[in-house]
Chains A and B, each alone.
Chain A
Amino acid sequence: MTTAELSADGSFARVVGSGGDRILYYLKKHRVPYIAGFLALLGATVLALLPPYIVKLAIDDIEAGVAGTLDVDAADLLRYGAIIMGVALAESGMRYFSRRVVSGSARRIEYALREDLTNHLLRLDQGFYVQARTGDLMSRLTNDLQAVRDFLGPTVVDISRSAVVLIAGFVVMFLIDIRLTLIAFAYLPVVIVLMAYFETNIEKRFFEVQDQIAELTERSQENISGIRAIKAYAQEEAEMRTFSRENEEMRRRSMRLGKYEAGLLPSMIVLTQGGTLLVLWFGGHDVVNGNISTGDFAMFVFVLSILSSQLMAVGWIVASAQLGVVAIRRINEVFRTVPAIDNGPLALERARGDVEFQGVTVRFGEAEPVLRHINLRIQAGSTVAIVGATGQGKTTLANLVPRLMDPQEGTVTVDGVDVRQFRLDDLRQQIGFVPQESFLFSESLRENVSYGRQDASDEDYQGALVISQLSNDLVQLTQGLDTVIGERGITLSGGQKQRAAIARALLKDPPILILDDALSHVDTHTEEEILRRLREYMRGRTTILIAHRTSTLRSADRIVVLEGGAIVEQGTHAELIALDRVYARIYREQLALEKRSEDVDARLVQDADGREPTNGSSA
């Protein structure tokens, strides 16, 4: 666990910035129940050692009674019993209380941490998500948090109890006979060394097994998601061979772990019972020699059995503590990731829509910049198309405006103000964004469309639905807008999803509209319909289009060509065609592709046997 203290300035950003503090912060917040719980635990543990002492008294009494040196009857023994029951009641109460209070706090902390983590995740930028894997994040928020909860709850309780039992047991025995106590505890260092030996070995092999589980998961995932290809190429046998190898490797690694797993418990049993053996030998002589009473002897054996049951649990406790420490580290890693995007101070009601990039450079990690020194002014109300091959930085450029990420150098401005100056909510409210991958939530279509604006009127709704052509799809859905989609509902086609994503952006009524290849899954006819209606909608709004289609390109006021992360050309369609360089080439190629259907003629048909196809209309 991190030992860093809560920072002096105590600001939230600082706390988040060094996540170890977050867990510590909650521990401090819950210190009263923790301390109360520990005190109760201490009491319960000490009380638990009273019965052996009472048993000693009873046995000594019985021995004296039998020998006739003391007048003892059943009522005396019942009195001892009554004390034991009284002690047990008190002990039970304290145990219940301590567990309730400590584990309860641990669960409260778990709840708060999960809330904080999720909140934190929702604030992290694209730079983080490009590198993070969903499965990994999820397991941190579930499995790891549970491990932390167990660590802060039962594990902490058990560690303290083991310590207290050992100390208290030692003290009680010490009071009776120093020599015998030392003998009985002689094996303790051996137990510790042995446990360390097993734990390190188990841990190492456990991680080997975990790695292999991950490997198997990966293999299964790959196999099943590609099953159509595997079947199409009849490669089931090859897949089985590969999988079988991994499966067998899993067994081998598990067997290496098994050797130690199987050895741990028996070793512990033997060693802890060894204490009883020593007491039997030495203590037996002591009683006969008159150094201790029979009752003392019985008490030694009794206390040792309590100790050994406690020691037996130590293996489990250590394992759980290890898991907990690893989990804390993994959770802190997430907390330590400072959101690169922070809130600005300026409010923004409704932007005019001037967008400008000034000397913008973006790079992910150490790699080559994705965008370099971009200077671009987009006037309010104009439409700009961004053109370029895949991987030239078009999407990155679009992501900068709503601050899904910030550039490393340069500034992006809206209405002449650096976007970092605006309140994040306000800035994003200005932008209708349709991403490349249309993501919808597993809720009703209505919830999804109104995602950015709940107060839309029916008229607004109709407008957005008609422009996006989602209205046509609604006819097919039995429950219309109330149809639930996603995991618990029906699956929409790629085109339908894109149309819903467009409707969602339009309904927001934003002054700035960004369409990132938003029509790639929509069929030609519908695409044309959408574009035609969009032109209307775009009037008076700043629009940034990332597109390939020639008709879309032509309709833009200005075209910006990206290549290798830099703007290589910009101007109107006519200007760039006249320039006859990159854009003209891209445009012609695209046009050629689109016009291919025109050229399905005898010439090309003959060409099909392998000669290079002629470029249809490069004139």
Chain B
Amino acid sequence: MDGVTLLLYLILVFCGFLAIYSSSHGSSNFSFDFSTQYGKQLVWIAVSITLGAVLFLIDVRFFEVFSYAVFGFWIILLILVIFLGKDVNGARSWFAIGSFRLQPAEFAKFGVALALARYVSDIDTDMKSRRYQLITAGIILLPIALIVLQGDAGSGLVFFSFIMVLYREGLSGTVLLIGIVAVALSVLTFAFGFLALVAALIIVGGIITAFIYTNTKWLKYLWLIVLVCIGFTKSVDFGFTHVLQEHQQKRILVMLGLLEDPQGLGYNVNQSKIAIGSGGFWGKGFLQGTQTKGDFVPEQHTDFIFTSIGEEFGWVGSTVVIIVFVLLFLRISMLAERQRSKFSRVYAYCVLSVLFFHFLINIAMTINLAPVIGIPLPFFSYGGSSLISFTVLLFLLLRLDANRENELDSYY
């Protein structure tokens, strides 16, 4: 088993525990109280590691064989939760059985990883075919759609991170480029509005025309692209004004800095920035964070858990945590590349993409670089569902990696 990855995982879980301990008012006497959040988190940590260990007892091929089954199972639960789930903040994404809560969306990531790994590595799959593109898209988009139906669009967005996996496996860079341009155009549309953007596109098109007017072929392509962009912009604008709910519109505007709403929707991010910003270079000290102690940051134990690190350990502490994460990601990427079977490699990249996306967006959110969507910081945020699912996700990779000597070389 890869000791480096395990070590990095344990470091992160430990740091996460410290953060939860501080934000749930652990006292300096370190008396353990299991009814507190940090007490419960300790239980979840134990459960997660146990389940992770259990994975090593299961035959490796079990997962490859039952990939689609696992995927299907979680899809069914995603559907069921819409009808049977508990209403929390206007979204139905949790099952509640007694005091036990389960969020299928967290575990669906595991299912998608398996299904995607299985399909892409399947010997019958023709990666150049239209069918391939449709099915991979479908595996990713189906859970997104269901989660949006639950009313929790934010959680659904994480599934787009799987595009990184497809890119590694051959998805055209052009597609990725188009994707990035689309995102950029969308942001510009939110910021400046449809008409301004159309004007800008036409002006840019005109400038380029001045340089290439001799070449009629390129000219045709240029204006075709401009037209498509205009159409896209229009649909984004339409989507923003008519499809997005008001609070979602506001969230985007707040994040872009176009709307100041420090008491309303901007409140959480504002408190987060204040807590983190006031940490200074070295931080205020463990358990000494004034904003953490005073409960100023809402959702501090979940979405905004990073503020506890930022305030108490300062820039130094924050950077150290980020570096540990990055080391983990680079390590996973290294594990991925040394896998012999395609299934394992694709699965590894799925793990990487999921963990990285959560990490990036969660921390960016706390410092107002991304809109507030409620996704946890892996291994830090309080909650059994996320901790268990991330641990299982990671440990299966360790299992596969430990087994790689036994695998047949796959045809790339």
A and B are interacting partners? no
